[in-house]
Structure 1
Amino acid sequence: MFSQVGKLIYQNEAVAQTADFTMGIEIEMDRIDSQGNLSQEPYPSSIGDEKTNPWMTNDFLEVMSETVTPAADYALEAMHYLYALNTTLRNALAPGELLWPLSMPPRLPKDKTKLVLAKMGPKKEAYLKEWAKRHGYAAGTPCGVHINLSIKPYIVKLVQANQPDRFPTERDAKNYLYTVVAQGFVRYRWLLTYLFGASPLAEANYLTPQQHVKHPMRSMRQSSYGFGTKFRGDFTDLDRYVARIEEGVKEGILTSDYEFHGPVRFKGNSELKKLQKEGIQYVELRMLDLDPTTAVGVKTVTLRFIRLLASYFIMHPAMTISEVDEVLKQADECNRVVAEEDPREVTQYQSTALALIKRLSQYANQIQLGPEYTEILDELEDRILNPLLTPSAQLLNYVEDGSLTKYALQRAKRYQEAALENLHPFHGFEGGKIYSTAELKEALTNLK
């Protein structure tokens, strides 16, 4: 059953455009040496300055490389940009350097203070030092995939123009649509964790001597042992989202508003007050582990599934304001449970997962998305029925002496060799050139 907004979009034959999000991808990967230790090499000079190059930078650690694609209209286009930038990074690495393909970091030094934080300028470095002091160095080391989704302007204009009493401005309509999408992804994050979780264990020295893990997990990165602060955001609406983060800073739970690392973030202006005034420009989804079976950390089928979910959330009834916080609080706990389940076991939420996949299949057929989506949903249904088909369960086949290092190194070397064999890698960052979005898209599109 479509919501009022969904019916409006359907009646105007614009449903397909709800899945045509503009998409950007951010991928974090650690630089390592040929033995599987964190690299001691400096930031690669041929890809510019890490402090000024927005497309190729560092995150928590100096060796945690972050590749950021320009926004793309289609999943395949986004993947083209990602492959080009990933190859660029690999070609810039020092001889013997590799990219670790797993979300959980390689073995860490026993003395974590030897880890070098990202050299991103005085303000960012001060923030990182304070964060590490509060949460520990290890907690900042897991890597992942971030997907940025921007709704097509036509949908926003259509909704506002046809419901001006409910949405007086396009800003109001846009904030509503993004809020519904955010709520949906937070509510069903556990399904993504089940389907795509790929971090079953931690390598040496990540866990403290006091931490005891009884069995492998679907996603240690998303578990209570995983990344960062466990501060809950408020996704009721933009005003309450901002107020909640400001409250966290005021209470000292967060060192700054930048520290909010929820599974979804509203994005636009980097200053919260200006974001509140100007409105949401896109949402950032932060719940995916790296997929080690591909050189770039994420597959096209995953991006298509994300698009389908987002479209489904837009078209169907949202939660009432009074129930949002409690439902999403329960969803966070549900995600923790799924993340910490043994990946070889059937999830306790299997029946709900199957029901949701069924709904998505019906929706995909209703709006005539095409056979590729049927294939994707059939494959994901198989993963729900047979947990041994999930990424984390598959990774357990390669564990030796409690470690995935041998497997990760084999993958890393294979991907590195393929990148170095590329006949036309992108060298445009040499000399410190800074590209606008349009310039970089044109340069990457013209690669032969």
Structure 2
Amino acid sequence: MTHLNNKLSTRLVQILENGQQQLLRGGFKGIEKESLRIAKDGFIAQTPHPKALGSALTHPYITTDYSEALIELITPPFTDIKDSLAFLDKTHQFVYDNLDNEMLLAASMPCGIDGDESIPIAQYGSSNIGRMKHTYRHGLWHRYGRTMQSIAGIHFNYSVPEALWPVLYAQENPDASLEHFISESYFALIRNFQRRGWLILYLFGASPAICKSFFKSRPSLMAGFEEFDPGTLYHPYATSLRMSDIGYKSKNQANLRIDYNSLAGYVSSLSRAIATPYPEYEKIGTVVDGQYLQLSSNILQIENEFYSTIRPKQIAESGEKPTLALKRRGVRYVEMRSLDLDVFNPIGIDEDKARFIEALLLTCLLKDSPLKSEQDQQINNANQLAVAQFGRKPGLELNRDERTMPLRDWASEILEDMWPICEILDGDDANKPYNQALKQQQAIVDDPDLTASARILEHMGQQHQEFGCFSLNKSAEHEQYFRQRKLDDRNTAQFNELAEQSLAKQKEIESRDQLPFDEFLKHYFAQS
């Protein structure tokens, strides 16, 4: 107990003293995984989203992100991460059983693209909600370019065990409702993750290099990189260029001051950005020659345009704005968004990573979490950028509490803080999977050559492979893994039924639409 008292906050100490540590187990975990469909010639697929997979608009588990070729696979939330990964594996299997002469790109950074025009924007049918989703993506093209939007990653969704909330609420006896307490506690988790989230990039970043073709539409960005080989640019110590400033960085978002100190502040600041005109986007125009080029000319078209490493989430009802869902019903879970695809794993993520992330998020909940200042946000962003670009650089120091600290020392301290949580999550499991995951990450902290980013560069060098060739070879290996298996009849029938139901649901939505699109958008944005 003494060791635990020294390492964790009052929250956990009280839970332990009351013998309630089992309440920390069983939080729901879900995964969203993006992958670019690639044709056999190595270029981005130009084919529509396969109809056999169902409707990208209405399917609960198989959809698309920015591009028609950027497939997104979603698992339901499970209390056991093994179930989440098993569902993701089955979904991959079903997709491959219905892909003709195409495969899913194993890497986060896109290869096989030939400028913006080679990337087809996702289509969602003729309904108003489908048109809105397409128009939003059209606006992203005009604002940031299509190439950046074809980057793929994994989102890890986590909800705190429901039975834990009344216990924490009783311990702290706040002068607010339980629902308000839950939301504010999630925001405390988010603030702590923003301080520590650079660790995800160091440990799991798998995008240290980029195909030169990525820069065809924005050649000026190439100047900041070194040449690895004739087809590849990189930073020698990079971990996750996906999470660096080559993608989502823009002048308007850099100046946004989104408030993470409370639910009310978050909703207000995000809503303000959606309602505030931005001169550069006004030059683009919203409707030109009768065609929508973007949803609006404001700083953000909708909430999703604001890029952040972690988001508070509430399940929105049909047509409901995400900020309004949060305002009405509070935070239900968090979405961690900074995970690269693991190119060495067929489904892009393994059990050790998932267990480590769960333990880290739970630690962020239980640790004290001071409110954030604007300077804190700048420091957090600078630390993330430094790790994304130079995370494996010997002696790299980060800014912590207005002083510098070696990355390795800070990382080891975070892992030490997680040890008691991993002990609790392991419970009576003799295999100690959470502790094993923690030990594995400590080894990577001690030796940067064990990181995925270092292994990728080493493999490329040894095999004399450009990044594009390396990525395609890994993709082919994963394709072979799934082609050699076949989904069993029961699961195939279930996925086929889901696909048919989603197609029918899309038709039903399209048939009942009555409002003109202009009126639909007015009603949508007028929600309050």
TM-score by length of 2: 0.76
Answer whether contact 1:183 1:235 (CA < 8 A) is retained. Answer: yes
SS of equivalent to 1:224: coil
Q: Please report how far the alpha carbon of residue 159 of structure 1 lies from its aligned counterpart in structure 2 after TM superposition.
A: 2.3
Q: Please report how far the alpha carbon of residue 306 of structure 1 lies from its aligned counterpart in structure 2 after TM superposition.
A: 0.9
What whole-Å deviation, never above 9, does each CA across 1:392-423 have from its counterpart, x for those lacking one? Answer: 11000233677222222222222222212324
Q: Please report how far the alpha carbon of residue 367 of structure 1 lies from its aligned counterpart in structure 2 after TM superposition.
A: 7.3
Please give the residue correspondences for 1:263-278 in structure 2 after superposition, counting only pairs within 5 Å.
263-270=309-316, 271=321, 272-278=323-329
Aligned to 1:446: none
Aligned to 1:24: 30
Aligned to 1:128: 137
Query: RMSD of the TM alignment (CA)?
Result: 2.2
For the structure 1 residues 398 and 405, does the alpha-carbon distance in structure 2 shift closer, same or farther, using more than 3 Å as the test?
A: farther
Q: Which moved more, 1:399-408 or 1:209-218?
A: 399-408
For the structure 1 residues 361 and 158, does the alpha-carbon distance in structure 2 shift closer, same or farther, using more than 3 Å as the test?
A: closer
Structure 2: unaligned runs, 5 residues or longer: 125-129, 227-234, 277-297, 398-406, 503-528
SS of equivalent to 1:118: coil
1:360 aligned residue (415, 418, 441): 418
1:340 aligned residue (374, 382, 389): 389
Please give the residue correspondences for 1:94-109 in structure 2 after superposition, counting only pairs within 5 Å.
94=100, 96-109=101-114
Matched, 1:116 2:120: yes
2:500 aligned residue (418, 433, 445): 433
How many percent of aligned residue pairs carry the same amino acid?
23
Q: Please report how far the alpha carbon of residue 177 of structure 1 lies from its aligned counterpart in structure 2 after TM superposition.
A: 2.4
For the structure 1 residues 279 and 363, does the alpha-carbon distance in structure 2 shift closer, same or farther, using more than 3 Å as the test?
A: closer
Answer whether contact 1:140 1:228 (CA < 8 A) is retained. Answer: no
Distance in 2 of aligned mates of 1:227 and 1:143: 12
Q: Please report how far the alpha carbon of residue 157 of structure 1 lies from its aligned counterpart in structure 2 after TM superposition.
A: 2.0
What whole-Å deviation, never above 9, does each CA across 1:56-76 have from its counterpart, x for those lacking one? Answer: 000001000000001101111
Please give the residue correspondences for 1:18-417 in structure 2 after superposition, counting only pairs within 5 Å.
18-94=24-100, 96-110=101-115, 112-120=116-124, 121-164=130-173, 166=174, 168-207=176-215, 208-211=218-221, 212=223, 213-214=225-226, 215-216=235-236, 217-227=238-248, 230-231=253-254, 233-251=258-276, 252-270=298-316, 271=321, 272-319=323-370, 321=371, 323-341=372-390, 343=392, 345=394, 347-348=396-397, 349-361=407-419, 363-365=421-423, 369=427, 371-399=432-460, 403-417=466-480
One-letter amino acid of the counterpart of residue 357, structure 1: L
Q: Please report how far the alpha carbon of residue 254 of structure 1 lies from its aligned counterpart in structure 2 after TM superposition.
A: 1.3
Q: Please report how far the alpha carbon of residue 363 of structure 1 lies from its aligned counterpart in structure 2 after TM superposition.
A: 4.8
Distance in 2 of aligned mates of 1:395 and 1:132: 30
SS of equivalent to 1:429: helix
SS of equivalent to 2:472: helix
Distance in 2 of aligned mates of 1:337 and 1:262: 16
For the structure 1 residues 101 and 146, does the alpha-carbon distance in structure 2 shift closer, same or farther, using more than 3 Å as the test?
A: same
SS of equivalent to 1:65: strand
Answer whether contact 1:398 1:404 (CA < 8 A) is retained. Answer: no
One-letter amino acid of the counterpart of residue 416, structure 2: K
Q: Please report how far the alpha carbon of residue 146 of structure 1 lies from its aligned counterpart in structure 2 after TM superposition.
A: 0.2
Distance in 2 of aligned mates of 1:154 and 1:52: 32
SS of equivalent to 2:29: strand
One-letter amino acid of the counterpart of residue 244, structure 2: S
Answer whether contact 2:363 2:417 (CA < 8 A) is retained. Answer: no
Answer whether contact 1:183 1:328 (CA < 8 A) is retained. Answer: no
For the structure 1 residues 423 and 273, does the alpha-carbon distance in structure 2 shift closer, same or farther, using more than 3 Å as the test?
A: closer
One-letter amino acid of the counterpart of residue 245, structure 2: S
Distance in 2 of aligned mates of 1:262 and 1:367: 28
Report how many residues are paired. 430
Distance in 2 of aligned mates of 1:87 and 1:177: 38
Distance in 1 of aligned mates of 2:480 and 2:196: 38
Distance in 2 of aligned mates of 1:275 and 1:366: 31
SS of equivalent to 1:67: strand
What whole-Å deviation, never above 9, does each CA across 1:88-115 have from its counterpart, x for those lacking one? Answer: 1121111x211100000113113x1232
Answer whether contact 1:27 1:66 (CA < 8 A) is retained. Answer: yes
Q: Please report how far the alpha carbon of residue 161 of structure 1 lies from its aligned counterpart in structure 2 after TM superposition.
A: 3.9
For the structure 1 residues 87 and 227, does the alpha-carbon distance in structure 2 shift closer, same or farther, using more than 3 Å as the test?
A: farther
Distance in 2 of aligned mates of 1:160 and 1:366: 20
Distance in 2 of aligned mates of 1:16 and 1:304: 16
Q: Please report how far the alpha carbon of residue 4 of structure 1 lies from its aligned counterpart in structure 2 after TM superposition.
A: 4.0
TM-score by length of 1: 0.89
For the structure 1 residues 130 and 402, does the alpha-carbon distance in structure 2 shift closer, same or farther, using more than 3 Å as the test?
A: farther
For the structure 1 residues 81 and 324, does the alpha-carbon distance in structure 2 shift closer, same or farther, using more than 3 Å as the test?
A: farther
Q: Please report how far the alpha carbon of residue 196 of structure 1 lies from its aligned counterpart in structure 2 after TM superposition.
A: 0.4
Answer whether contact 1:179 1:237 (CA < 8 A) is retained. Answer: yes
